[in-house]
Structure 1
Amino acid sequence: MKKYNLLFASLLFLFPNETIAQERAIIKIDTDRVIDQINPHLYGNFSEHLGQGIYGGIYDPKSIQADEDGFRKDVIEQTKELKVSILRWPGGNFVSGYHWEDGIGDRSKRPTRIDLAWGGKESNMIGTDEFIQFARKAKVEPYFCVNLGTGSLDEARNWVEYCNVEKGTYYSDLRRKNGFEKPHKVTYWGLGNEVDGPWQMGHKSPEDYSKMAIETAKLMRWIDKDIKLIASGSSNYDADWNKWNRTILDEMYNYIDYISLHHYSHNTSDYYTYLTNTIEVENYIRIVEQQIKEAKMKNRSSKDVFIAFDEWNAWTRTFGGTDNTLSEIYDLQDALIVAQYLNIFLRTCDIVKMANMAQLVNVIAPMRVDNDKLWKQTTYYPLYLFANNCRGKALDIYIKSPAYSTDKYKEVPYLDVSSTYEPSRNEVVINVVNRNKDKAITADILSQTGSFDKKATANIVSGANINITNSVNEQNVDIKKEEIKTSGEKITYSFAPRSFTQIIVKVK
């Protein structure tokens, strides 16, 4: 017995990140254990005036892909294919120096401004009316963010008037004069961007931000009582982010519908540590959920406030560098990070009602345009699978998995899992990231209510190694399909190493 313990201890020392014997994982699916209905706005996105996100991305009148208004038809089609539900604009850091009246009316008379957020110049060729045109073509809901950095209360409420009032006022008639008779009816409005960050133009304390945001919210709502308002929550986790959120919620609870959170995952260590980055995201969400409940009680309010996670992504190579175009190239491990974010948003969909990947095209984006040709990054594929297949209700599942440890986290499950159920189709979707870089993990997937159909489909995103990328000429990472046989109440499946797998199966 002593010799066995000595051998076991030696193996643990040599292989600290691996379990010695890979036990079989267990995933239990119960369609009665519902977290909440999935809001389609979980599959939102974000377009900022930055790099080639707008010019050369959604708008490129010199391209052979340009439509009659100069918008790229390939970007429009891929936005539809990704089922993007809501698109945040115009920023981002950019918005804290943006004045929306620069971007309306005769294009030949629009001023060119210095972009203080990212450097370079802003032509204002794409403004409010043009962005609405793109949104309608791509069938996405527009989500505007107002300037609470260098902007004013009047500027914010006038923008709502320009967009949402039908006629008979100065700004509504100005819109009609500019060729848009019908109101744009923009429902979602952000009250500034990352105002907690010292990098932001107009950075404020939580108390000062709350005062300005409340007055702005009042005026905007007096113009249109039906708009939804999103407060600028935490993005600066090196500061006292709990104080920021708690102050915002305590002061602004009765004026807002959402509080925003932002988070980016940076690969600054080894693969296994990188894939634990999203653990803190789920922790942040649950902490803010409790802060929302606390603020609701303090304000004796009957209304609900939710989380809009309106900036998130993997972001490493161009983070903090000199490349202000943020033209990131993603690899397989970044695709797994994206899948983990989406797993989290499903597991927390009772409080997270909107999520916006940053960004749509070219700028830390799932698709890029090079040599006038659109191509899909590795991160495109998990986003596509979730947005197209994970609808209906999110399920509270049971998962038992082999695990590994890092310096920060102990017992990290190799399998990161979420599941959804669409009653109208009697369809269950099981989303599984296998974090194990080298080994497949076999799991028994058990139905606790009813039985699985005899056949299921697996969609697999994987690759030869964790650093593999796609390019304009080569798609090394995409979706592979596999048919699976089930045994009624159980599916036994081996999840490939370093992979995201989505299993779709009917239940009866």
Structure 2
Amino acid sequence: MTRARISIDREFTVSEVPHRLFGSFVEHMGRCVYTGIYEPGHPEADGQGFRRDVLALTKELGATVVRYPGGNFVSGYNWEDGIGPVADRPRRLDGAWHTVESNAFGLHEFVDWSRKAGTEIMEAVNLGTRGVDAAREIVEYANHPGGTRWSDLRAKNGHKDPFNIKLWCLGNEMDGPWQIGHKTAHEYGRLAQEAAKAMRLVDPGIELVACGSSNSGMPTFGDWEHTVLTHTYEEVDYLSLHAYYQEQDGDAASFLASAVDMDHFIESVVATADAVRAKGRHKKHINLSFDEWNVWYSRPGDPDSPEQVTTRPWQEHPRVIEDRYNVTDAVVVGTLLNSLLRHGDRVKIANQAQLVNVIAPILAEPNGPAWRQTIFHPFARMAELAKGQVMRTVVDSDKVETARFGDTDLVDASITWNEETGRMALFLANRGLDEAAEVEVRLGGFDAGELTRAEVLDVPTGLDRFAKNTLELPNQVGLRPLTGVTAAGGQLTLTLPALSWAVVELNVEKA
């Protein structure tokens, strides 16, 4: 049996749990918007065409902030196409995903949907085909009280009061040759700097995210961040990171260790940002926005892969990358969330991509039901229970040898402590495919009290690690009670089943 010892101490914390760490993403891609969050005529549609079943699951998921409208889509998008009477909105060709965009859903609809979902808005501006003027004009439209061309047009279109959108992305993945309007680091850095200045002249209170590398494997990684921040350091608040993971060639061990790569990615970008800070003698720190992350089975040649979408006839909202997630994927997602939480001192925003249908925790059929994928469960529990302080967590675990990341801890963990409520939450994963793990947690400076929750997601009886939730069996994989957890004094012990993710919540007092 695998063994692990986890240690924390009341005096050693990382940061407050960032409220925006449990964000999601809605892009005009595939069926995320149309027949996802928005489907007029659906039996569950409200008066605005929003699917109430998807809204309910979004609230249960606990998404705190939602990025919109893209993604690759935004780099060819005219935001003005999505305002005004729907009948007057133009139909456009979207080159990013080779679809026909009806523009029936736009900025006003998203604001109304977000208010019903209880989420903050993270709006992205087009710095691919557009630039400074369009960026400052959408801020005026969204946030200025009134008495100007764009703010008065907002009122005419049905929203007298400002939207007060505080969080803005300066484009999307501009380092990628696939991006419409792709730019070099110098080109993007200068454009982002000037767009940021113009946007802040309209609303000085906004927060801005500059594009970092699309992934750490980009040939320009590191140089891109350094160059972009050299231009934009004083104008922006955050730098973005994007990463997707998948099991390749049956290498489950490396896939289950994906959070090791996420850790390294985060720490590398922090080091680069701090190097620019030192060289430029800047006073503030740039924090990170991990505004796209998830498991994504990107297989060139698949009919619904991005590479093949352009071979299809032009159509509205086709099915694109509607991955069906299994138990293994859910455990990986739990460890990625652990990585984000452990780096909460610098990662202040994170958005799992995407919310519904497109590589998503929620699936929804047209004119049919919506249900939770396996990856829904670790996200929802962590969004619900991770409150207060992120504890500095030391793990001494048996190892597994991986082809991509070398020796890796079989047990992964993050822990939070809410001093106001006296609750501590432990989020644990066993990466081992075959053996259970005996885990001992040393709670330095705490006395353990009553257990309030102990749940585990693992392989259901009679099934294997590829078990999924389906239209026919929507609850086949989920959380069940974790038995055998004991807590006394400054110690907690438990056994994690093979290939599992678990949450334990308990009352604690200062020792």
For the superposition of Structure 1 and Structure 2, which TM-score range results when normalised by the shorter chain? over 0.9
- The residue that corresponds to 1:3 in the other structure is none
| Pairing 1:424-463 to 2, within 5 Å after superposition | 424-455=420-451, 457-463=453-459
- The residue that corresponds to 2:312 in the other structure is none
- Cα shift readout 1:368-389 (whole Å, capped 9, x = no counterpart): 0125101100000000111000
Aligned Cα root-mean-square deviation (Å): 1.3
- 1:425 alignment partner AA: T
- The residue that corresponds to 2:314 in the other structure is none
* Distance in 2, Cα, partners of 1:225 & 1:287: 30
**Are the counterparts in 2 of residues 414 and 435 from structure 1 also a CA contact under 8 Å?**
yes
1:330, CA displacement in angstroms? 0.6
**Are the counterparts in 2 of residues 249 and 291 from structure 1 also a CA contact under 8 Å?**
no
**Are the counterparts in 2 of residues 454 and 485 from structure 1 also a CA contact under 8 Å?**
no
Aligned residues: 487
Check if 1:111 corresponds to 2:110. no
1:408, CA displacement in angstroms? 2.8
Q: Report the 3-state secondary structure (helix = DSSP H, G, I; strand = E; otherwise coil) of the residue aligned with 2:488.
A: coil
- The residue that corresponds to 1:395 in the other structure is 391
- 2:228 alignment partner AA: I
Q: Report the 3-state secondary structure (helix = DSSP H, G, I; strand = E; otherwise coil) of the residue aligned with 2:420.
A: helix
- 1:393 alignment partner AA: Q
* Distance in 2, Cα, partners of 1:335 & 1:101: 38
- The residue that corresponds to 1:8 in the other structure is none
- 1:102 alignment partner AA: D
Check if 1:253 corresponds to 2:233. yes
Check if 1:273 corresponds to 2:274. no
**Structure 2: 5+ residue stretches without partners:** 310-319
Check if 1:85 corresponds to 2:64. yes
- Cα shift readout 1:443-489 (whole Å, capped 9, x = no counterpart): 11122112111545311011142111111221221111235332322
* Distance in 2, Cα, partners of 1:320 & 1:392: 45
**Are the counterparts in 2 of residues 434 and 495 from structure 1 also a CA contact under 8 Å?**
yes
| Pairing 1:322-337 to 2, within 5 Å after superposition | 322-323=303-304, 324=309, 325-337=320-332
Q: Report the 3-state secondary structure (helix = DSSP H, G, I; strand = E; otherwise coil) of the residue aligned with 1:24.
A: strand
- Cα shift readout 1:127-175 (whole Å, capped 9, x = no counterpart): 1111100011111111110001111211111100000001110000011
- The residue that corresponds to 1:15 in the other structure is none
1:322, CA displacement in angstroms? 3.1
Once the two structures are overlaid, the 10-residue window that deviates more, 413-422 or 268-277, is: 268-277
**Are the counterparts in 2 of residues 349 and 394 from structure 1 also a CA contact under 8 Å?**
yes
**Are the counterparts in 1 of residues 2 and 435 from structure 2 also a CA contact under 8 Å?**
no
Check if 1:314 corresponds to 2:295. yes
**Are the counterparts in 2 of residues 391 and 422 from structure 1 also a CA contact under 8 Å?**
yes
- 2:226 alignment partner AA: R
Change (3 A) 1:344 1:94: same
Identity over aligned pairs, percent: 37
* Distance in 2, Cα, partners of 1:400 & 1:302: 36
- The residue that corresponds to 1:479 in the other structure is 479
Q: Report the 3-state secondary structure (helix = DSSP H, G, I; strand = E; otherwise coil) of the residue aligned with 1:425.
A: coil
* Distance in 1, Cα, partners of 2:105 & 2:450: 52
Check if 1:466 corresponds to 2:465. yes
Q: Report the 3-state secondary structure (helix = DSSP H, G, I; strand = E; otherwise coil) of the residue aligned with 2:254.
A: helix
- 1:485 alignment partner AA: T
**Are the counterparts in 1 of residues 2 and 436 from structure 2 also a CA contact under 8 Å?**
no
- 2:338 alignment partner AA: N
* Distance in 2, Cα, partners of 1:396 & 1:285: 16
- 1:480 alignment partner AA: R
Check if 1:227 corresponds to 2:206. yes
Q: Report the 3-state secondary structure (helix = DSSP H, G, I; strand = E; otherwise coil) of the residue aligned with 1:264.
A: strand
- Cα shift readout 1:241-290 (whole Å, capped 9, x = no counterpart): 01001111122100100000000002213211211222111111111111
- 1:402 alignment partner AA: D
- 1:152 alignment partner AA: G
* Distance in 1, Cα, partners of 2:418 & 2:299: 39
**Are the counterparts in 2 of residues 76 and 137 from structure 1 also a CA contact under 8 Å?**
yes
Check if 1:488 corresponds to 2:507. no
- The residue that corresponds to 1:383 in the other structure is 379
- The residue that corresponds to 2:276 in the other structure is 295
* Distance in 2, Cα, partners of 1:113 & 1:221: 30
1:318, CA displacement in angstroms? 5.6
Which of 240, 260, 266 lines up with 1:285 in the alignment? 266
1:398, CA displacement in angstroms? 1.9
Once the two structures are overlaid, the 10-residue window that deviates more, 87-96 or 300-309, is: 300-309
Once the two structures are overlaid, the 10-residue window that deviates more, 111-120 or 452-461, is: 452-461
* Distance in 1, Cα, partners of 2:501 & 2:436: 12
- 1:246 alignment partner AA: H
Once the two structures are overlaid, the 10-residue window that deviates more, 336-345 or 441-450, is: 441-450
- The residue that corresponds to 1:132 in the other structure is 111
**Are the counterparts in 2 of residues 317 and 328 from structure 1 also a CA contact under 8 Å?**
no
Q: Report the 3-state secondary structure (helix = DSSP H, G, I; strand = E; otherwise coil) of the residue aligned with 1:444.
A: strand
1:23, CA displacement in angstroms? 5.5
| Pairing 1:120-199 to 2, within 5 Å after superposition | 120-199=99-178
- 1:311 alignment partner AA: E
* Distance in 2, Cα, partners of 1:392 & 1:238: 36
* Distance in 2, Cα, partners of 1:32 & 1:505: 19
- Cα shift readout 1:15-73 (whole Å, capped 9, x = no counterpart): xxxxxxx4632111322210011111000000000111000011001101100111011
* Distance in 2, Cα, partners of 1:287 & 1:119: 35
Check if 1:364 corresponds to 2:365. no
**Are the counterparts in 2 of residues 391 and 420 from structure 1 also a CA contact under 8 Å?**
yes
Larger Rg belongs to:
1
* Distance in 1, Cα, partners of 2:247 & 2:404: 15
**Structure 1: 5+ residue stretches without partners:** 1-21
**Are the counterparts in 1 of residues 16 and 389 from structure 2 also a CA contact under 8 Å?**
yes
Return the TM-score normalized by structure 2.
0.93
Change (3 A) 1:434 1:288: same
- 1:192 alignment partner AA: G
